[in-house]
A and B are shown apart, each in its own frame.
Chain A
Amino acid sequence: MGLRVTLRPYLLVVPALLLTCGILYPFALGLYYTLFDFSASKPQPDMVRFQNYETVFTQDAFWNSAWVTVLYAVGAAAVETVLGVSVALLLHRSSLVGRVLEKILILPLMIAPVIAAIMWKLMLQPSVGVVNHLLKPFGLGGVQWTDTPTGALLSSIAVDVWVYTPFVAILALAGLRSLPTSPFEAAAVDGAGWWYTFRRLTLPMLWPYVLVAVIFRFMDSLKVFDIIYALTEGGPGDSTVVLQIRAYLEAIRFQRYSFGISYTIVLWAVVYLAAMVLVRHLGRIQRKAAEVSR
């Protein structure tokens, strides 16, 4: 019994461990590749040490991509948070309309982001798209949605918002429904107003749930690919070339494998750091929320 019992958990995780290693191996391989000048035109690469990273950090293209990525991630995560929490609060009132609509809240989230981007691309087409047609009565026809730098970025964010707002809303709604009722009853007895209750009770207690959603959304949008690939392909010019698109272009389009991977490694480091900071913040917020509800 003794040895078998000690080994049992290990035996159970062996398959998962192997699979994990199978996935870690390409990652390690990629890391290794970045030390070479490996590309389709140079299948016998030379060791170049950290030259790829040096090139990355000295390129204007990298800083442009990094800036666009941050704009995209912050913009999308911020709008989704505000909109998602608002929708959750509205649904939490639980009117008849709300109960009906809640059932279909999830739909956009379950559509592949790339398909969503295709749908919006059709709708935003400047001359025959339906959006400009509907805007015509307001004197706003002929907007060049994805053909101007700002327009392209905003359109991409809009698609992200369309797909992922339900994600924030669903988690926030779950949070709202799980809040303890006694603090709210006490506030009602004390005659606290709606705004005071919201600011001092709902928001602090809800925040951990929202923060989980925000962390997921922010880190996911840092590595956005599908939406931009289908909607703008990074254009016009370089205006929406986020980091993963840049890596794709370098590695797959131009077949400079080593250089392309260097981009993704840098992005990986950024996402990892962001995760560390946010998760630590989450721990603090959760403790605070626990104090409020006590």
Chain B
Amino acid sequence: MKRRLVGRLADAALILYFLFALFPIAWMVLLSLKPADQLFSTYFSFTPTLDSYRTVLGDSEGIPFVRFFVNSLVVSVGAVALSLVVGLPAAYASARWRFRGSENLMFTLLSFRFAPELTVIIPLFVLYQKLGLFDTYVGMVWVLQLVTLPLVVWIMRSYFTDLTPELEQAALLDGYSRKQAFFRVALPLVKPGIAAVSLLAFIFAWNNFVFPLILTSSSAQTVTVGALSFLGGDRPKYNLTAAAALVSVVPPLLLALTIQRYLVRGLSFGAVKS
């Protein structure tokens, strides 16, 4: 009897928390479906319309939101790709061999995770303007390494460390070269890790705000900065802001639901394994 009551109370507490967690998302959906003329006159009862989405995706407010969306895609994919190409060999090397400077490099990378972004961005802001990298894809992909590279290297290192080197050694004895052992044996076995870390790095790159805020102005601007611009102007366009916010959170939310299983290691940089 008492047990059941405790169970009920626990469920109730959980539901309360999830109301808090989910209500803002639900509210944005409602807000984005409101017609402009009912925006401030009603709360829950209104005639739903997709007008806000049409406006936002039709670039009709003078804000090229579709372009921002494409920019976000390009720089996030670019940043993840570069991090994988550069980070996978480094992660593998530091998991397999002890060599001088390896730990220093790893901890320097980790410290990026905790460095205040502006420490690097303000000098880059000056530097990029001189080099012509301001407001470009290349400039954004480069600076996003600050976010994606430590993630890729640390998490992939923990995956490679978990893999016994004897698998690759067996391949060497079988007649595979070191390179073939890596590509045919080690890499397929950490494929789930690579997939998970790519998606997580993509999400973090996509969600980044400070870099595009300061290092782009229009042609390479991303959705996170773009969504904010609907709040500007004389009359607040709440319905458009809500629609823009929702559109910009769709990719990370969809991806997040697919990598649930691998999240723990990713979020903690390999410090906690599940």
Give yes or no for direct A-B contact (beta carbon below 8 Å).
Answer: yes
List residues of B (34-61) whose CB comes within 8 Å of A's CBs: 39-40, 43
**Contact in complex: A90, B114 (CB < 8 Å):** no
**Contact in complex: B264, A98 (CB < 8 Å):** no
With the chains together, A8 CA to B178 CA distance in Å?
Answer: 10
With the chains together, A252 CA to B28 CA distance in Å?
Answer: 31
**Contact in complex: A83, B17 (CB < 8 Å):** yes
Q: How far is the CB of B100 from chain A (nearest CB, A)?
A: 9
Chain B, residues 61-101, CB within 8 Å of chain A (1/0): the string is 00000000000000000000010011101101110110100
A120's nearest neighbour on chain B, judged by CB, is B24
Q: How far is the CB of B79 from chain A (nearest CB, A)?
A: 11
B7 on the A face (CB < 8 A): yes
**Contact in complex: B14, A106 (CB < 8 Å):** no
Q: How far is the CB of A139 from chain B (nearest CB, A)?
A: 18
**Contact in complex: A118, B209 (CB < 8 Å):** no
List residues of B (207-241) whose CB comes within 8 Å of A's CBs: 207-210, 213-214, 224, 227-228, 231, 236, 238, 241
What's the interface size class on B, roughly?
35 or more
**Contact in complex: B119, A118 (CB < 8 Å):** no
A-chain residues with CB within 8 Å of residue B206 when the two chains form the complex = 112
With the chains together, A257 CA to B124 CA distance in Å?
Answer: 11
**Contact in complex: B117, A15 (CB < 8 Å):** no
A-chain residues with CB within 8 Å of residue B245 when the two chains form the complex = 115, 118-119
A68 on the B face (CB < 8 A): no
**Contact in complex: A108, B94 (CB < 8 Å):** no
What's the interface size class on A, roughly?
35 or more
**Contact in complex: B17, A264 (CB < 8 Å):** no
Binding site secondary structure of chain B:
helix
With the chains together, A23 CA to B87 CA distance in Å?
Answer: 14
List residues of B (1-48) whose CB comes within 8 Å of A's CBs: 7, 10-11, 13-15, 17-18, 20-22, 24-25, 27-28, 31, 39-40, 43
Given contacts A106-B256, A252-B214, 12 further A-B contacts (CB under 8 A): A10-B93, A20-B108, A30-B119, A112-B209, A112-B248, A128-B238, A162-B24, A166-B21, A223-B116, A252-B122, A261-B119, A272-B114
Residues in chain B within 8 A of chain A (CB atoms): 7, 10-11, 13-15, 17-18, 20-22, 24-25, 27-28, 31, 39-40, 43, 82, 85-87, 89-90, 92-94, 96-97, 99, 102, 105, 108-109, 111-112, 114-127, 142, 145-146, 149, 153, 178, 203, 206-210, 213-214, 224, 227-228, 231, 236, 238, 241-242, 245, 248-249, 252-253, 255-257, 260, 263-264, 267-268, 271-274
Q: Could you write out 17 A-B pairs with CB less than 8 Å apart?
A: A9-B93, A16-B105, A23-B146, A33-B123, A97-B15, A98-B11, A104-B22, A105-B21, A106-B257, A106-B260, A112-B209, A116-B24, A119-B25, A171-B264, A171-B268, A257-B126, A268-B116
